[in-house]
Amino acid sequence: MTRSFSWLYLAIAFGFIYLPVGALVLFSFQDGGLPVPPFNGPSLRWYGEVLSDRNVTSALFHSLLVAVGSSAIAVMLGFFAAYGLARYVLPGSVFIRALLIAPLTVSYLIVGLGLLIVLTRMGLGLSLITVGIGHVVINLPLAFAIIYASMGAQHENAERAARDLGATEAWVLLLVTAPMLSPAIAAAFFLSVTLSWDEFIIAFLLTRFDITLPVEIWSMLRSGLSPSLNAIGSFVFLISVAALLLLELTVLRRRK
């Protein structure tokens, strides 16, 4: 009886989580003009329209470019910050760690408004570069926290042994520390890509002409619901799932 209730609870929980996504994917194949019941299809009509829309494909490319670029920079900075704070005794290191993690507790709206003021004062025009800067700001604390938490005594012993064998600090980082921390680095990178991929508020505030996919979806929503929006949402969901699956495969392969 207990096991039956456990399976029932699990089914309800997963249904609650994935039912909206399932409805979105289902009605992306709707043949009619509205993404509402009854279902008329299946049809790839809206996927064809989305893939032939230059605004959508450009926004899709911009989102991928910003997500991968900003995540790579955030992970690199997070790695160096985690290594420095974990391996060296610095004055006020606890305070520095708190400052690095603090942006995780701040609303994206506040971060975006602050960056908009600062970047505008600096004379930087709003573009994909400013969006990338904003995504580095919000992803750096996450990358730092993941990598810092993975640094253990066994890593320090291996680094010490490499130095005793004559390796320079740069080679220790490249050939010893980074490979041992590769699961944490991969996790930080793919999670950052996932967060940056569908982030809207900062992308909306810090860009003007070269917009990302969430901003394009928002502009399309102002004209009403359409199955094409469901098709775009299905693409977003597919890419997010692919990133998470790639993360899982990378981490599992490394553990084996």
The DSSP annotation for 231-256 comes to HHHHHHHHHHHHHHHHHHHHHHHHH-
- Claim to verify: residue 75 and residue 119 sit in the same structural domain: yes
> Does the residue 104 lie in any domain?
yes
Average pLDDT value for residue range 137-144: 92
Could you identify the residue written with the tokens 């994917």? 25
> Does the residue 57 lie in any domain?
no
- Claim to verify: residue 139 and residue 192 sit in the same structural domain: yes
> Does the residue 30 lie in any domain?
yes
- Claim to verify: residue 136 and residue 242 sit in the same structural domain: no
> Does the residue 60 lie in any domain?
no
- Claim to verify: residue 102 and residue 186 sit in the same structural domain: yes
Task: Give 140's pLDDT tier (boundaries 50, 70, 90).
Answer: very high
pLDDT (0 to 100) of residue 253: 60
- Residue 16: CB atoms within 10 A of its CB come to 9
Question: Which of these three, 212, 231, 248, is where a domain ends?
Answer: 212
- Claim to verify: residue 93 and residue 207 sit in the same structural domain: yes
- Claim to verify: residue 238 and residue 185 sit in the same structural domain: no
* Six-digit token string for 129: 């570069």
Q: Is the pLDDT of residue 131 over 80?
A: yes
Q: Tens digit of pLDDT for each residue in 150-169? A: 887 677 778 778 787 777 87
Global pTM reads 0.81
- Claim to verify: residue 43 and residue 113 sit in the same structural domain: no
Helix (H, G, I), strand (E, B) or coil at 53: coil
Q: Tens digit of pLDDT for each residue in 4-38? A: 777 888 888 888 877 777 777 777 777 666 656 66
- Claim to verify: residue 100 and residue 199 sit in the same structural domain: yes
Say how many domains are in the chain: 2
What's the CATH code of the domain at 92? 1.10.3720.10
> Does the residue 196 lie in any domain?
yes
201/223 Cα distance (integer angstroms): 20
- Claim to verify: residue 29 and residue 152 sit in the same structural domain: no
- Claim to verify: residue 198 and residue 254 sit in the same structural domain: no
Q: Tens digit of pLDDT for each residue in 63-78? A: 889 999 999 999 999 9
Rg of the chain over CA atoms, in angstroms? 22
Domain that holds residue 83: 68-212
